[in-house]
Amino acid sequence: MTGTTVRLPQLRPLQRELLDQMARWNVWVCHRRFGKTLLCLCLLIKHSHMCPHTAPRYAYLAPLFRQAKQISWDYLRRFAAQIPGAVPNEAELRLDLPWNNARIQLLGADNPDSLRGMYLDGCILDEYAQMQPRAWTQVIRPALSDRLGWAIKVGTPYGKNHFYFDWREAVRAQNAGDTDYHAALYRASETGVIPQAELESARQTMRASFGDLAGDADYEQEYECQWEAAIPGAYYAEELRLVDVQRRITHCPYDPTYPVYSAWDLGVNDATAIWFFQLIGRQICLLHYYEASGYGAPHYAEYLASQPYQGHYRGHLLPHDGGHHEWGTGERREVTLQRLVQGEVHVQQRPGLDTSINSVRVMFPRLVFDHDGCERGIEALRNYHHRWDTQRKVFLSMPEHNWACHGADALRTLAVSLDLVDQIEKQFTSTIPPEQGPFDWLLGNAVQGAGGKGRLAWMG
């Protein structure tokens, strides 16, 4: 706006570096107390002043609405006091600016659907690792499309979840010369923002609170931005250590001479997770992992059909809530899905948490993972951990409910369904008439089903 001067706070050199190098899609991994919140709010003010569009809209998104207020509102009010004509609205956590009807809004990602319908010229997703991924994919990204807006995903790591994968993709694109992307990672031991003595004190405090192993893991994650810091209380740490040592994360190709099964964890507001697998001898070959949220049965049916396994599905294993009446149809989920997919749908009751987790541990020596197809699922298993009781300083018997639960729960469905899968295979084998050759079913020849009608062997 002509005649209006905006003076931003003094920024450190590394903050200025990010300000100057910003692209359209940014993924910034910053250690604690780097100053990312101040930097990001400065960027919102600056871009609202420069935006060529009428009534520009910018958002600062935190994992929870109350976090947005606690983290950023005081900063924003201070900015408003220095801008003549700026009007802060504390009830709605927004700042109306005196140029071009611009507005900055503070929002929470705890209810992504409530954010639908708005347009945005730019958005900060602060502590992105703690957010539901669909806040970005289903709400914020579409809101930026018509005005070609920008986004910054910023925070510290929380295991190899969606923040890690988005950062890695931004690094790949940036290295390939794509100027739409900018990736950065700042460790406390390298920036000099926090004195070394204070870093050592922080590490010792964390050790005293949580023990050496857990304290070091927290320190490495929060201050050194380590994606692979040990996860204290991880359920499958030893099992996955053996998987790594025995190199059972490898190239695990789909074999079309064997049927394919899928094991599910169902969700609508939460994610739905699916493991695709084959039984080859005693090995359980995990071919692929898929996860999405906010969709009904047709989406997952289309996804199944898009895979190279279509026509070769023998069964789809759903947990107990597969019998619930959902997906907006008034009928049971298993019935809805069965109408849409090839292969038979089965609902398997999962026993108690401890029993089913033990079933997973017993199954682990049989598992082989495809390194490309299962990468996200493997990271979910690595990050599946006990909840920590901050008062008693002990791990509880229940898991921390976070992004990792869905992949872990889908694997529990697989583990407790192995007897059912064996029964399906025995029943299938028994339907092959004696006069048929033992390998005719590999060719998809018709065999007599349980109802006496000819059917393709692959159809289960």
Q: In what order do the strands lie in the sheet with 271-280?
A: 249-250, 367-370, 283-293, 271-280, 260-265, 313-318, 344-347
Nearest to 287 by CA among 312, 268, 267: 312
Q: Domain residues of the chain, as ranges?
A: 13-186, 243-459
Top pLDDT among 338 and 113 is at 338
| Mean pLDDT (whole number) for 320-336 | 69
Task: Please say if the pLDDT value at position 338 is more than 60.
Answer: yes
DSSP code for 276: E
pLDDT of residue 247: 93
| Max mean pLDDT range (58-62, 214-218, 388-392) | 58-62
Q: What is the DSSP letter of 22?
A: -
Pairing mode of beta strands 271-280, 394-399: unpaired
Q: Residue 285: CB partners within 8 Å, gap ≥ 6?
A: 252, 255, 277, 278, 279, 368, 370
Using pLDDT thresholds of 50, 70 and 90, give the confidence band for residue 457.
very low
291: closest CA among 110, 137, 128, 129? 137
Average pLDDT over residues 417-424: 95
The secondary structure element, H or E, covering residue 407 is: helix 405-416
pLDDT at res. 446: 40
Digit-coded pLDDT (tens) for 283-322: 999 999 999 988 889 999 999 999 999 999 999 999 987 6
Q: Residues 24-47: what's their mean pLDDT? A: 95
How much is the average pLDDT of 249-260? 96
pLDDT of residue 361: 96
Q: What is the pLDDT of residue 357?
A: 95
Confidence of residue 459 (pLDDT cuts 50, 70, 90): very low
pLDDT at position 448 is: 40
Q: What is the mean pLDDT of residues 175-196?
A: 97
Question: pLDDT by residue (tens digit) across 106-153?
Answer: 999 988 888 899 999 999 999 999 898 889 998 999 999 999 999 999
- Where does 243-459 sit in CATH, by number? 3.30.420.280
pLDDT attached to residue 391: 74
Q: In the structure, what pLDDT confidence band is assigned to residue 455 with cuts at 50, 70 and 90?
A: very low
Look at residue 445 in the predicted model and tell me its pLDDT: 43
pLDDT interval class at 6 (50, 70, 90): low
Q: Is the pLDDT of residue 441 over 60?
A: no
Would you place residue 364 in the very low, low, confident or very high pLDDT band (cuts 50, 70, 90)?
Answer: very high
The percentage of residues in the chain with a pLDDT greater than 90, rounded to a whole number, is 66
How far from each other are the two terminal CA atoms of the chain, in whole angstroms? 67
More confident residue, 439 or 237: 237
- Mean pLDDT within 329-351: 86
Q: What is the residue whose two structure tokens read 């469905």?
A: 413
Per-residue pLDDT for 381 more than 50?
yes
To the nearest whole percent, how much of the chain has pLDDT over 70?
A: 89
The DSSP bridge partners found for residue 293 are 271
Q: Which residue has the tokens 């983290």?
A: 71
| C-alpha span between 161 and 408 (Å, rounded) | 13
Give per-residue pLDDT as tens, 223-233: 999 987 767 78
Residue 433 confidence (pLDDT): 59
Using DSSP's 3-state secondary structure scheme, residue 41 falls into helix
The pLDDT of residue 447 is: 39
For residue 407, what are the contacts with CB-CB under 8 A and spacing of at least 6? 265, 273, 275, 289, 291, 376, 377, 380, 381, 384
Segment 427-454 shows an average pLDDT of: 50
Which CATH number does the domain 13-186 belong to among 3.40.50.11750, 3.30.420.40, 3.40.50.620, 3.40.50.300?
3.40.50.300
Q: DSSP secondary-structure letter at 234?
A: B
User: Which of 89-93, 161-165, 329-333, 399-403 bottoms out in mean pLDDT, i.e. has the lowest?
Assistant: 329-333
**Looking at residues 374-400, what average pLDDT do you find?**
86
